Structure 1
Amino acid sequence: MQTEPEAVHDRRALLGDAARLLVRAATPERRHLGIAIAWLMLAAGLEALGPLVGKFLIDHYLVPRQARLAEIGGLLAGALVAGMLASWLRYAQLIRLAGLAMRSVQRVREEVYGHVLQLPMAFFDRAITGQLVSRVTNDTEAVKTLYVQVLFVMLDSLIVLAGAGLAMLWLDWRLMLVVAMLAPAMALIVTLYQRLSGPAVARSRQLRSELNAQVAESIAGMPVLQASNAGERFEARFAQLNEAHYAARQQELRANAWLLRPMLDFLNTLLLALVIFVFDLRSAGAPLGAVEIGVLYAFMGYIARVTEPLTQITMQFSQLQQALVGAARVQTLLREAETPPHAAAGEVHAGGIRIDHLDFAYQPGHPVLQGIDIELAPGSFHGIVGHTGSGKTTLLSLLLRFYPAPPGRIRIDGTPLEAIGEDHFRDRVGLVPQEPFLLAATARENIAMGRPLDDAQVVAAARAAHAHGFISALEQGYDTQLGEGGARLSVGQKQLLAIARALAGRPRILFLDEATSHIDSDTEQVVQQALAALRGRVTVVAIAHRLSTVRDADRILVLNHGRIAELGRHEDLMAITGGIYRRLYELQQLEDE
């Protein structure tokens, strides 16, 4: 349960995040925003003339019974023109503001997506995919809500309130004080509404993200889910989340039903009764003058103009509260620190790697790597093996700069890893992951991956990866749609395509993260042929679960509890009686047999 200071802090944080997101989105649209606000003020001013025209007609023509049709017609025509002009201005500014809001949503969504692409891998270790998707797609819509609800409805209502207040103050300040009694009541309603609906809105938004996350997770793991007969359990968990979301929405709706339109309508009626009562007291015992009747008519018109904007403001609080929560979630994501930019001075030339006394820990006091010291010559082929948890993946992540290594401990061609430009590094270093990532696109697009490669370069990369044969056999060759995740390909074909993609960038260093762990022996031999063809031209570092993949490596690095336990060629390591590599290799041989 939140304490009161915490709740107040949360509301302030929401408002602060919403304001920052609004400023971020509005800055490029300052000119259009200024024009829309100017038109809004002009439209509100024209609308405020209506009750004054009515008062003038009553005071000078109706009560005195002066039927000057030409003058009355002129006043009515002027009021009609003013009303039409105000309506057109409202239409024009709404169109302008709506376009501005949609452009801002587009810009913020692209910014959030680009920001996500630049986040360090450590962020994705704790992130949930469905929630990230919800923030990029759904929560960015908060910008449009903030524009339309805050800048249009609330600003418009405040302008109308200001105009009506000034007009009533000019007409009769005593009656104006009666109308001003509405302000404390409105403040009380708004405060109660925020207290009752705010937590419910935040919880419903969070639960919606969790629903999205479970749906995405279930679809991604559907084969495992069905194979383990977990459908009913997942359905029950989803139903529990859905029920909690329903309860939160119900709490929000109850707050709306009690405190919005019914309460405001009651206040409007009460205010009208008070104004008429005060007017009756003031006029008791005295002849009613025409001016007094006109003032009463004008006040009744302005009361409607006061209560309706207040009603509109309060009616928007439900959507506004959701927009504030969405804006806060977007701002929280944007505050995540991106991967630090690297200086552009250093470059990768030959592909030699030097690791000097490397220690690394994700958490202080829990080292994952200790005293790693090795040099990899340009164009060499090195394998990294070891038991689960020995530090293989961590070492590869440091070499790929997914996590920052201690400065100066890793050098490429003599240049510290952190001193190599980011774009240049990614162009010169390739990766073949354990689980190949394929787009729902053509084979050509999966190899090019958005890079400006011509057909000859794509085919050359496929040939180098021994993937040209099966790609050419597809019904449309390189233009064949592969389906989501490469559904039309076998696991081995996906891996060969991933190798072709990595080679298409002509890297000087190629990392393989257990790229043969899920493929058959025939496909593994094809991969070995592709790696053999790269020797002398590309530095290859392969983390291997299947030791046959790195049997022909120049050197094999055996990790054990974060340290280098053994180092050498396959024959040298097999000669070590009781060695880790020998035990692993013999165990795999038995499994294969």
Structure 2
Amino acid sequence: MPADTVITTSPPVEQLPKRELFNDAANLLLRAAAPERKLIIQGVIWLVVAALLETFGPLAGKYLIDNYLLPRDAQVPQIAALIAGALVAGMAASWIRFMQLTRLAGLAMRSVRRIRENVYGHVLRLPMSFFDRAITGQLVSRVTNDTEAVKTLYVQVLFVMLDSVIVLCGAMTAMLWLDWRLMLIVATLLPVVVVIVYAYQRLSAPAVTRSRELRSELNAQMAESIGGMPILQASNAAPRFNARFAGLNEAHYQSRQLEIRANAWLLRPVLDFMNVLLVCVVIYVFGSRSHGTAMTALEVGVIYAFINYIGRVVEPLIQITMQFSQLQQAMVGAARVNVLLREAEAPVAVAQGEVTAGGIAIDHLNFEYLPGRPVLHDIDLHIAPGSFVGIVGHTGSGKSTLLSLLLRFYPAPAGSIRLDGTPVDAIGEDHFRDRVGLVPQEPFLLAASARENITMGRTLSDEQVERAARAAHAHDSIAALEGGYHTPLGEGGARLSVGQKQLIAIARALAGDPRILFLDEATSHIDSETEQIVQRALTQLRGKVTIVAIAHRLSTVRDADRIVVLNHGRIAELGTHSELMAIDNGLYQRLYLLQQLEEEEPESAA
């Protein structure tokens, strides 16, 4: 097995070290905001200007008290100028902060839009081995909920914290200029906040991570339950699934409760108490220093300014600590997105090889998903262009694995598969997908019109769409719909029968004008009448398109040019239907007779 076919998994986010969690979040933010770096720098500069303007108000009040109110020197023009200056500075600071936070919020929205588009595009480029282990609901949660958490990281955390830090630095600088000794008293609040934040992180981080993981599991179960609703109701499993969902929901509730209790104890209440305590200490120190001296010995305006600045110090600290709850959730969300983005994408072939006639050559193909557990053994098979080959075998015989290698869903050993003499990995990706069509066992239909389900975003004319539908014998059923090709088919093609869905899937594959058409048990879920329609369509394509049909129903490939019988990953038998039936007690003969018996039993019972 090639090294690049080994399935690897990224560690769960809850197992990531804190430093790696932070690095993941930081790297994601830097990549998303890189195109607007200049706007971020401008925003920070303007926020600094706003913080400087806000420091003017208490300084103006201090000057007013010390120079005009205490001396009872009522100079109206100067007093009016000070008051007007403080009002203008405050209004200007508020307007600047509003404008910059609005602009930065717009930057955040654009960055999240880029992240979401990148994540979705990345998911589309992941190899099929990833989806073998991925859970749909959790992937949807990554693209929606977790990217939304990144927006929270921008808007409610980084910008609020950035603004608060700038205001805090401005207030501390002003207090240092007024009285460095009183400033040191206020500065004792900073290590207290560090201790509070550390304690909060220790208590809340596991709960935040756990709650986000549980939310993904809730989304996954919801998506899974809705997709399998007919089975849930038919098997009376709804109560059991409801109980399981309730258990997950209760676990999510309890994890959120732990986080809320940590918020309630360690964030605003503690800092509000510290605010009152600091004001008391500053007033006490001020009174002690002024005792027995003239009031002007220590200007009363200083205590006024300090009390104002204490509020401007404590409130940013409260805002910073209050954001840590959001910060924990946003960092986990960002890390989960980044873990997904680190998944290796499927290699995209950029070579110039082409599929021209549709010949397939498989030489000594061996393959294993896990080392030491081979799935295919020395497969040798040559398929002429335009021929019809059926591949049959028991469940687990290697049919689907062989098809996945032919479709490049998994990388095959170098040189073991060639199309028209060109190694399959030497054919350009776009050209390969245009020239190789697939009709899956479970037809996938969009909640869109019949035409959109055939084109799948390709630029095809109405004539090309109708020609493909006629070739698949789907035109009549589509034309019978009230809107014809423009009729919405509902989610998953709910308005169509299983057979009609499969015919549209065949039309979709043929619309790209492929040279090779693979059918993955395309008739296993349709009735006999629709199977005959599919067989007529395949008969008309013979000689024009190379057809490789993996079939559970042997009647589908009875008229094939050759039938390959796989058994435990090896080619056990090879030949036409009549040749294989002539092998006494052969594997194909036993499979065919067993199916004939199964089909006759219902008829005899009727």
TM-score normalized by the length of structure 1: 0.98
Cα distance, 1:157 vs structure 2: 0.8
Cα distance, 1:9 vs structure 2: 6.4
Deviations 1:31-62 (A, max 9, x none): 22222222211111111111111111111111
Partner of 1:543: 550
Partner of 1:260: 267
Distance 1:8 1:544, change over 3 A: closer
Among candidates 164, 173, 179, match of residue 171 of structure 2 = 164
Among candidates 202, 227, 230, match of residue 237 of structure 2 = 230
Among candidates 193, 200, 203, match of residue 196 of structure 1 = 203
Q: Distance in 2 between matches of 1:142 and 1:322?
A: 7
Among candidates 308, 324, 332, match of residue 325 of structure 1 = 332
Deviations 1:496-522 (A, max 9, x none): 000000000001111000000011111
Partner of 2:317: 310
Asked if 1:296 corresponds to 2:296, the answer is no
Q: Distance in 2 between matches of 1:29 and 1:564?
A: 59
Partner of 2:7: none
| 8 Å CA contact 1:63, 1:290 repeated in 2 | no
TM-score normalized by the length of structure 2: 0.96
Deviations 1:289-321 (A, max 9, x none): 175211111111111010000000011111111
Partner of 1:59: 66
| 8 Å CA contact 1:118, 1:338 repeated in 2 | yes
| 8 Å CA contact 1:25, 1:143 repeated in 2 | no
Cα distance, 1:7 vs structure 2: 9.1
Among candidates 330, 340, 343, match of residue 336 of structure 1 = 343
Distance 1:86 1:449, change over 3 A: same
Partner of 2:501: 494
| Pairs within 5 Å for 1:74-153 | 74-153=81-160
Asked if 1:581 corresponds to 2:588, the answer is yes
Among candidates 33, 39, 50, match of residue 46 of structure 2 = 39
| Paired letter, 1:226 | Q
| 8 Å CA contact 2:388, 2:562 repeated in 1 | yes
| Paired letter, 1:381 | F
Classify the secondary structure of the residue corresponding to 1:541: strand
Partner of 2:535: 528
| Pairs within 5 Å for 1:3-18 | 10-18=17-25
Q: Distance in 1 between matches of 2:169 and 2:566?
A: 74
Q: Distance in 2 between matches of 1:434 and 1:527?
A: 13
Q: Distance in 2 between matches of 1:459 and 1:188?
A: 71
Among candidates 394, 402, 407, match of residue 401 of structure 2 = 394
| Paired letter, 2:365 | L
Partner of 1:472: 479
**Can you give the 5+ residue segments of structure 2 that lack an aligned partner in the other structure?**
1-12, 601-606
Count of aligned positions: 588
| 8 Å CA contact 2:290, 2:297 repeated in 1 | no
Q: Distance in 1 between matches of 2:169 and 2:122?
A: 41
Distance 1:8 1:566, change over 3 A: closer
Q: Distance in 2 between matches of 1:516 and 1:545?
A: 8
Q: Distance in 2 between matches of 1:534 and 1:36?
A: 64
Deviations 1:333-358 (A, max 9, x none): 00000001212321111111111100
| Paired letter, 1:504 | A
Among candidates 566, 574, 577, match of residue 567 of structure 1 = 574
Classify the secondary structure of the residue corresponding to 2:574: strand
Classify the secondary structure of the residue corresponding to 2:295: coil
Asked if 1:505 corresponds to 2:512, the answer is yes
Deviations 1:155-203 (A, max 9, x none): 1111111111111111111111111111111011000100111100100
Partner of 1:407: 414
| 8 Å CA contact 1:435, 1:515 repeated in 2 | yes
| Paired letter, 2:240 | R
Q: Distance in 2 between matches of 1:290 and 1:456?
A: 96
Partner of 1:352: 359
| Paired letter, 1:83 | G
| Paired letter, 2:294 | P
| Paired letter, 1:554 | D
Cα distance, 1:419 vs structure 2: 1.1
Partner of 1:245: 252
Asked if 1:182 corresponds to 2:189, the answer is yes
Classify the secondary structure of the residue corresponding to 1:542: strand
Percent of residue pairs bearing the same amino acid type:
74
| Paired letter, 1:561 | H
| Pairs within 5 Å for 1:370-385 | 370-385=377-392
Partner of 1:3: none
Q: Distance in 2 between matches of 1:238 and 1:159?
A: 45
Classify the secondary structure of the residue corresponding to 2:17: helix
| Paired letter, 2:60 | V
Classify the secondary structure of the residue corresponding to 1:549: helix
Deviations 1:121-170 (A, max 9, x none): 11011111000000001100122112113331111111111111111111
Classify the secondary structure of the residue corresponding to 1:146: helix
Q: Distance in 2 between matches of 1:114 and 1:77?
A: 55
Cα distance, 1:275 vs structure 2: 1.2
| Pairs within 5 Å for 1:203-214 | 203-214=210-221
Asked if 1:436 corresponds to 2:443, the answer is yes
Partner of 1:427: 434
Q: Distance in 2 between matches of 1:8 and 1:539?
A: 49
Q: Distance in 2 between matches of 1:425 and 1:33?
A: 44
